[in-house]
Homo-oligomer: A and B are copies of this chain.
Amino acid sequence: MKINDISYRGVWLDADGWSVRIIDQTRLPWSVDIPRLVDCADVARAITTMQVRGAPLIGAVAAYGLALALRADASDAAMQRDAALLAATRPTAINLAWAIGRMLAVLRDLPASARADAAYAEAGRIADEDVAQNAAIGDHGLPLIEAIAARRGKVRILTHCNAGWLATVDWGTALAPIYRAHDRGIELHVWVDETRPRNQGAALTAFELAGHGVPHAVVADNAGGHLMQHGEVDLVIVGTDRVTRRGDVANKIGTYLKALAAHDNGVPFWVALPSTTIDWQVDDGISEIPIEQRAAEEVTHVSGLADDGVVRSVRVVPPGSPAANPAFDVTPARLVSGLITERGRCAASAAGLLGLFPERG
């Protein structure tokens, strides 16, 4: 999608044909920086520091990271070490393990001399498939929005965090149906949760929507329940970092609170995901999905543009007070109206998922 009328993907090969380019999302929306990643350590650091984030994008970037690693050393030992390093960069996103596993399955039995080229090719396929999947998610989510538009005209949609094109290789997951609907001329208003502590809603989703011309307003994470009580939200669409076999949804901390409010007010709550986000090994998301505890500084400090034009971090919690920072929560399937995947929509249940993905039965 576009920034300042230039089209980008979330990850691409540099013109040199081997190094990897990303958009540094820690600098957005204030600055569009395009770091060049030249080795596996660069990629691991980009993921850990959240220069790239969003489950689908992390998977594609990690795949390119393994290609860079194999370019330097394609031995079995190095490949296993670097794959483990990349897989350990973030604990919650299932796409990361999926992408590394897919790469290893292709590469394992190849001679070392053939591995780097094969890894670049496979990483490219992972990226292209992500784009196609997200376009399909947009197509399958579109009818939900069209149905509301037919009933009442303007459609008011709330989203949490950033599940837009910046979280994927292109299109996004939760935002893909929104972009499709906007392009069809449906009148939209998107409520963008700020998404503390890292403010990906305010910094990234708002930035994306403004770039594409979609009307929206940023609200504090606290506001969504009130908006739903007063009939100001027709639909909630969020992304996810991991969906369990029975339809529990791990996503950015605070998603569960919005799902509760949607359920209490009869507002449909949909989750958009590529099927790579489904963890078929896990049933009970609340007890089984490990939740990443991130640094207290993300809560105690906020980064933004100061009036002197410098991006500064300011402390918002007094120095004598500690902070805790669980980064994700799990929304139980009973609160989810349904899932939007690249194969279509389904109920958030084992039966619903197996209906779309019978090969997992």
Chain A contacts to B: CB under 8 angstroms: 29-30, 191-192, 194-197, 199, 202-203, 206-207, 209-210, 216-227, 229-230, 252-254, 256-258, 260-261, 264, 286, 291, 299-307, 311-318, 320-326, 328-330
**Set of chain B residues within 8 Å of A305, measured between Cβ atoms:** 314-315
Chain B residues near A224 (CB-CB < 8 A): 257
A299-B194, A330-B229 are contacts. A217–B304 as well, Cβ < 8 Å?
Answer: no
CA distance A254 to B261 in the complex (A): 11
With known contacts A194-B299, A217-B323, A314–B317 Cβ distance under 8 A: no
Min CB gap A273→B, angstroms = 20
Q: What residues of chain B lie closer than 8 Å to A306, measured between beta carbons?
A: 306, 312-315
On whether the beta carbons of B254 and A225 are closer than 8 Å, the reply is yes
Is B307 a contact of A304 with CB atoms below 8 Å? no
Nearest chain-B residue to A322 (Cβ)?
B217
| Of B203, B225, B315, the contact of A329 (CB 8 Å cutoff) | B225
Q: Kindly identify which residue among B30, B210, B264 contacts A320, using a CB–CB cutoff of 8 Å.
A: B210
Closest Cβ of chain B to A38, distance in Å, is 30
Query: Closest B-chain residue to A224, C-beta based?
Result: B257
Residues in B neighbouring A318, C-beta threshold 8 A: 29-30, 202-203, 206-207, 210
Residues of B within 8 Å of A218, CB to CB, are: 299-300, 317, 321-324
Tell which of B258, B315, B321 touches A304, judged by Cβ atoms closer than 8 Å: B315
Instruction: Looking at the assembled complex, report how far the CB atom of A344 sits from the nearest CB atom of chain B, in whole angstroms.
Output: 30
Does the CB pair A222–B325 fall under 8 Å?
A: no
Which residues of B lie under 8 Å from residue A323 when comparing CB positions?
217-219
Across the interface, name the chain B residue whose C-beta is closest to A254.
B222
Query: Is B197 a contact of A326 with CB atoms below 8 Å?
Result: no
> Assuming the A-B contacts A219-B324, A314-B314, are A256 and B252 also in contact, with contact meaning beta carbons closer than 8 angstroms in the complex?
no
User: Could you list some 28 contacts between A and B, CB below 8 A?
Assistant: A192-B321, A196-B196, A197-B222, A199-B316, A202-B318, A203-B316, A203-B317, A203-B318, A206-B318, A206-B320, A209-B321, A210-B321, A216-B321, A216-B322, A220-B221, A221-B222, A222-B257, A225-B257, A225-B329, A226-B326, A227-B326, A230-B286, A260-B264, A302-B302, A304-B316, A305-B315, A312-B312, A314-B314
List the B side residues contacting A191 at CB < 8 Å: 324
Point out which of A300, A306, A325 has the most chain B C-beta atoms below 10 A from its C-beta: A306
**Residue among A218, A220, A264, A324 facing the most chain B CB atoms (10 A cut-off):** A220
A328 / chain B contacts, CB cutoff of 8 Å: 226
Lowest 4 CB-CB distances: which A-B pairs, in order?
Answer: A222-B254, A304-B314, A226-B329, A206-B321
Minimum C-beta distance from A68 to chain B (A):
32
Contacts A210-B321, A302-B302, A318-B29 known; A221 to B219 CB distance under 8 Å?
A: no
Distance in Å: Cβ of A313 to nearest Cβ of chain B: 7
A264 to B221, CA, bound (A): 19
Give CA–CA (A316, B52) in the complex, Å.
Answer: 19
Q: How far is the CA of A226 from the CA of B316 in the complex (A)?
A: 22
Shortest distance from the beta carbon of A26 to any chain B beta carbon, whole Å: 13
* Least CB separation from A303: chain B residue: B314
A346 → B minimal CB distance (Å):
24
Contact B223 A326 (CB under 8 A): yes
Known: A202-B299, A304-B316. 7 other contacts (CB 8 A): A191-B324, A194-B316, A207-B321, A218-B299, A218-B322, A257-B257, A312-B314
